[in-house]
Each structure stands twice: as structure tokens, then as C-alpha cells.
């Protein structure tokens, strides 16, 4: 989602005549698109703003600085007060304000706009031309998981018109895109203007996208049903990978997290889906060290984690977020212990990935070529339907081609091979 917003911001600035730079310290304008889901990305932003300020004081070069995204939404005026070099702060629903604001910055004037809501705004220009593209289908979230700041900084759930989504997909395909990701905080709670659910939207998108891969993130377990697995089975161009965050395997913790499912109901849904579509694989997000998570709770998470054998997993230490319900609970698990739990899950994931990679050796997989190596024009890089990066040799392929690649080498995090004509 944030990556998509960064693309929108960059596209809009380019549309306004700015040229993307490579060195933020010598740029005339720096816009930081921020995340506030955990404390760490917030600290990174603060540290970067400090560095920019020291650099400006040292060099005396005029530089405008804007902060956008979730942290801008959450902190607003506080950012301008704390960082004297910040000229403007725009909230998550205010990207289009760049248009009028950019002409006025400089000369010590400061701007803040963090109003939320309004039209579902979609950029009509400035999208990076490439093989892959994202389409946002909904924004915001109504789930209020007790640890999560997203409903506060992104606002309530709003779904985009299905007709608009389909026409954006058509436009992208016409421009040469071969891999489309439908994006939303919780895609499977999508409802269209004519009352259709996410599986219907997915089926319709897949049907008009022959020869183009369709992906989607993120799916919430509580809204997940078998119909999604059926649609994936019916459409060969939908990638059979579902990002469906477990967060915890302990029912007690899941309840306090307000996730709306139990470990068993989660596993049951995944099992049924895999029965319908055996090629399905899953990926997840996990939070370790949530307030009150005992060793027994954690081991339940590890058990589910082992059982599902995820394709990939993003594992986070719990980070208290001011304004959320869990913020009131004591964050009593020491960082060292959170990190031990995190590393334990990572080691399980490494084992699973290694096993998968070893099994892939000698296999032929379909790879969508996305880029060519700068050093060698016959060396390409692309992804499988399970989102695995594969580097491969091919004499006749170029980005946008679907290539059969035989995997000849497996390293820790990469698969390498050659095209199998
Ligand atoms: N809507 C998506 C996730 C959005 S946030 C979903 O419900 O799955 C992305 C991930 O950040 C979450 O899945 C969660 O694992 C993590 N996260 C959110 N708040 C967090 C917090 N306070 N501390 C640690 N991780 C958090
Ligand atoms: Fe946050 Fe939960 Fe909404 Fe995901 S579903 S964005 S974790 S509140």
C-alpha cells in the first residue's frame, strides 16, 4: 500500500515537472512517505529528518521537505514543531494537494492538511511504465485489531467502484502490463457498488486479463471463504498464493487482538481451500510478544506456523501504538525475549524455504521476466506465480515475456536457472 502511494506521489511530482533525483541531500525537494504501523519506521523517519536538517544547516542549500503518509496523518502539526526543516505535512488522503501546494512552498510558509475521507482518488497520470502494476480496490479498515493504528491513520473502509477497477485493469493491460496486484488492507471484505464480493471482482478481473497474472493482497482470515479458492481454481492466470496473516496461533491472544477467528477455524479454512485448489500456498504476518503472550501462547503460534508451511512470513515484534486499544495493556515482554521468539519462527521459516528450494532444483517453472541485468543482456530476473525471484539466462527473452525456466542452482535466497526452450 505504501509503495503504491510512493508511486502515486512520485508520479504526481513528475507530472508537476520535478525530475527524480538520486541523492536526497542535494535535492531541491524531499518528500518522505512514512509508515507508522510500528515504532521502528517512525524512528527511521525522525532520524532522516534530523539528518536532512543538519545537512541543510551545514551546506546552506535551500531544500523543501514534505512529510506524507501514515506518520504525517498521525502526528500532523507535531512534525512541523519538532523538525524546523519540514515545510508541509499531508495526510494519507491528501496526495492530490501536492498540485496547489508545491507552487507556494518556500519562504518559511508551512502547510498542514490531514483531512480524511472524500472521493476514492486514483492517479490518472505518471504511473511507472513496467511489467507489473498495482490497482487499489479499497482503502482504510474497519477491523480495529487492538494493536493496529491503520484504521486511525487510513480511516474507515471505502471500496472503489468495480467498473473503475476493471477499466483501470484494461488500460494497464493495453499499456503492456503483465502482472497486476489488486491491493487493499483487507481485500476480501470488498463490496462493489452492485453488491458483489471480492471473489466476483477477482473472477471478473481475471476474465478480462487473459495472459496477465493477477495477484491480490491482503486477505483477512475472518472474511476468507471457499469461494475464493474456487475462483482461483477456475482462472489459471490468478496466482495461487494467498497472503492471509495469522498474527498469533493462541486463541486467547487472538481474542485480545480482536481478530475474529481461532487457530482451528483458521487452519480449517486453509485446509478446505487447499482441498479445492491443491496448488494453493499461503503467506503470513505474525506478531510476537503481544501483551500477555506466554511461552505456551507462543508455542501455539509456532505449531500453526509449522503446520501451514508458509511460502513466506513477515514476523514482527509487538510495537505499542498510541491510540490503539492494546496500548493500554502493559508491554511487559522484554525486547530480548520478543527477539528470541521472532528468531525462532524465522529459523522454522528458513528450514521450510530451504526444503522448498531444494525440491525446486531441476524443476521447470513459469517465470514472468521483469528486468534485464545491467551487466549481461542475456541475464534476466523475474518471478514465479508464488512470487519467488528467479534469475535466469535466456537468449531470446525480454521483460514482459513468460518464460519456462529450469532451476539449475539454489542459493539461500535465490533461485537461478536457464530458459528451457
Ligand atoms: N490489513 C493487514 C495488515 C496491515 S498492517 C492485515 O490485517 O493482515 C501489516 C502488518 O503489520 C500486520 O499484519 C501486523 O502483523 C503488523 N502490525 C500491525 N500493527 C503492529 C504492531 N502494533 N506491532 C507489530 N506489528 C504490527
Ligand atoms: Fe490493522 Fe487489523 Fe485492519 Fe489489518 S485488519 S489493517 S491488522 S486493523
Q: According to the CATH classification, is domain 132-359 in 3.80.30.20?
A: yes
CB of 243 within 6 A of ligand 1: the answer is no
Mean pLDDT in residue range 46-63:
92
Whether the predicted pLDDT of 275 surpasses 80: yes
Whether the predicted pLDDT of 124 surpasses 60: no
By CB atoms closer than 10 A (0-12, 13-18, 19+), residue 328 is exposed
Chain segment 319-328, per-residue pLDDT in tens:
999 999 999 9
CB of 102 within 6 A of ligand 1: the answer is no
> Distance, CA 82 to ligand 1 centroid (Å)?
27
- Model confidence band, residue 114 (pLDDT cutoffs 50, 70, 90): very high
Residues of the chain with CATH 3.80.30.20: 132-359
How would you label 205-231 residue by residue, b for 16+ Cβ within 10 Å and e otherwise?
A: bbeebeebbbbbbbbbbebbeebbbeb
Chain segment 17-45, per-residue pLDDT in tens:
898 888 999 999 999 999 999 999 999 99
Write down the pTM of the prediction.
Answer: 0.93
Name residues whose C-beta falls within 8 Å of residue 327's C-beta, 6 or more positions apart in sequence: 320, 321
Closest ligand to the CA of 155: 2
Quote the pLDDT of residue 99. Answer: 86
DSSP-based helix, strand, coil % in the chain, nearest 5? 40, 20, 40
Residue ID of nearest Cα to ligand 1 atom 18: 148
Nearest ligand 1 atom, CA 317? 24
DSSP letter at 189 equals G
- Model confidence band, residue 3 (pLDDT cutoffs 50, 70, 90): confident
Residue ID of nearest Cα to ligand 1 atom 5: 37
CB of 318 within 6 A of ligand 1: the answer is yes
- Model confidence band, residue 123 (pLDDT cutoffs 50, 70, 90): low
> Distance, CA 263 to ligand 1 centroid (Å)?
17
Quote the pLDDT of residue 105. Answer: 81
CB of 37 within 6 A of ligand 2: the answer is no
Mean pLDDT in residue range 375-394:
93
Range in 39-48, 74-83, 309-318, 409-418 the model is least confident about: 409-418
Residues of the chain with CATH 2.40.50.140: 361-418
Residue ID of nearest Cα to ligand 2 atom 5: 143
Nearest ligand 1 atom, CA 243? 8
> Distance, CA 142 to ligand 2 centroid (Å)?
8
Query: What fold does the segment set 361-418 form as a domain?
Result: OB fold (Dihydrolipoamide Acetyltransferase, E2P) (2.40.50)
Quote the pLDDT of residue 195. Answer: 95
Closest ligand to the CA of 322: 1
Q: Which three cell numbers stand for residue 360?
A: 525446486
Whether the predicted pLDDT of 345 surpasses 90: yes
- Model confidence band, residue 373 (pLDDT cutoffs 50, 70, 90): confident
CB of 145 within 6 A of ligand 2: the answer is yes
Whether the predicted pLDDT of 1 surpasses 80: no
Name residues whose C-beta falls within 8 Å of residue 359's C-beta, 6 or more positions apart in sequence: none
Q: Are 350 and 372 in contact (CB under 8 A)?
A: no
Mean pLDDT in residue range 236-245:
98
Whether the predicted pLDDT of 8 surpasses 90: no
Quote the pLDDT of residue 11. Answer: 85
CB of 285 within 6 A of ligand 1: the answer is yes
> Distance, CA 247 to ligand 1 centroid (Å)?
8
- Model confidence band, residue 5 (pLDDT cutoffs 50, 70, 90): confident
Amino acid at each position: 500500500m505504501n509503495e503504491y502511494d510512493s508511486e502515486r506521489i512520485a508520479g504526481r511530482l513528475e507530472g508537476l515537472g520535478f525530475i527524480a533525483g538520486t541523492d536526497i541531500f542535494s535535492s531541491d525537494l524531499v518528500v518522505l512517505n512514512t509508515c507508522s504501523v510500528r515504532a521502528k519506521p517512525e524512528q527511521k523517519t525522525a532520524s532522516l529528518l534530523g539528518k536532512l536538517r543538519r545537512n541543510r544547516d551545514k551546506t546552506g542549500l535551500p531544500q523543501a521537505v514534505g512529510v506524507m503518509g501514515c506518520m504525517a496523518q498521525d502526528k500532523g502539526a507535531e512534525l512541523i514543531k519538532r523538525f524546523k526543516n519540514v515545510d508541509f505535512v499531508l495526510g494519507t488522503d491528501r496526495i492530490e494537494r501536492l498540485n496547489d501546494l508545491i507552487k507556494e512552498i518556500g519562504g518559511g510558509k508551512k502547510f498542514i492538511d490531514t483531512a480524511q475521507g472524500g472521493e476514492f482518488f486514483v492517479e490518472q497520470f505518471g504511473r511507472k511504465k513496467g511489467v507489473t502494476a498495482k490497482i487499489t480496490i479499497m482503502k482504510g479498515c474497519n477491523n480495529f485489531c487492538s494493536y493496529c493504528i491503520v484504521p486511525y491513520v487510513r480511516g474507515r473502509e471505502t471500496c472503489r467502484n468495480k467498473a473503475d477497477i476493471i477499466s483501470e485493469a484494461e488500460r494497464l493491460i493495453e499499456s503492456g502490463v503483465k502482472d497486476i496486484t489488486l491491493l487493499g488492507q483487507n481485500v476480501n471484505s470488498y463490496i462493489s457498488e452492485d453488491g458483489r464480493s471480492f471473489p466476483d471482482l477477482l473472477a471478473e478481473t481475471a476474465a478480462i486479463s487473459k495472459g496477465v497474472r493477477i495477484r491480490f493482497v491482503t486477505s483477512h482470515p475472518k472474511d476468507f471463504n471457499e469461494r475464493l479458492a474456487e475462483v482461483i481454481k477456475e482462472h489459471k492466470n490468478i496466482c495461487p498464493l494467498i497472503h492471509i496473516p495469522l498474527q498469533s496461533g493462541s486463541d486467547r491472544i487472538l481474542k485480545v487482538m480482536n481478530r475474529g477467528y481461532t487457530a482451528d477455524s483458521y487452519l480449517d479454512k486453509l485446509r478446505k481451500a487447499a482441498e479445492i485448489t491443491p496448488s494453493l500456498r499461503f503467506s503470513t504476518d505474525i506478531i510476537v510478544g503481544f501483551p500477555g503472550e506466554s511461552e505456551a501462547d507462543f508455542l501455539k503460534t509456532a505449531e500453526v506456523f509449522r503446520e501451514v508451511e508458509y511460502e513466506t512470513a513477515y514476523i514482527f515484534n509487538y510495537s505499542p501504538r498510541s491510540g490503539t486499544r492494546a496500548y493500554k495493556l502493559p508491554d511487559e515482554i522484554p525486547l530480548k525475549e520478543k527477539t528470541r521468539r521472532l528468531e525462532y519462527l524465522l529459523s522454522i521459516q528458513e528450514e521450510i524455504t530451504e526444503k522448498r528450494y531444494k525440491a525446486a532444483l531441476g524443476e521447470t517453472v513459469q517465470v514472468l521476466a521483469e528486468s534485464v541485468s545491467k551487466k549481461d543482456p542475456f541475464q534476466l530476473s523475474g518471478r514465479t506465480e508464488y512470487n519467488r525471484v528467479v534469475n535466469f539466462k535466456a537468449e531470446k527473452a525480454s521483460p514482459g515475456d513468460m518464460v519456462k525456466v529450469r532451476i539449475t542452482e539454489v542459493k539461500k535466497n535465490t533461485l537461478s536457472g536457464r530458459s528451457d526452450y
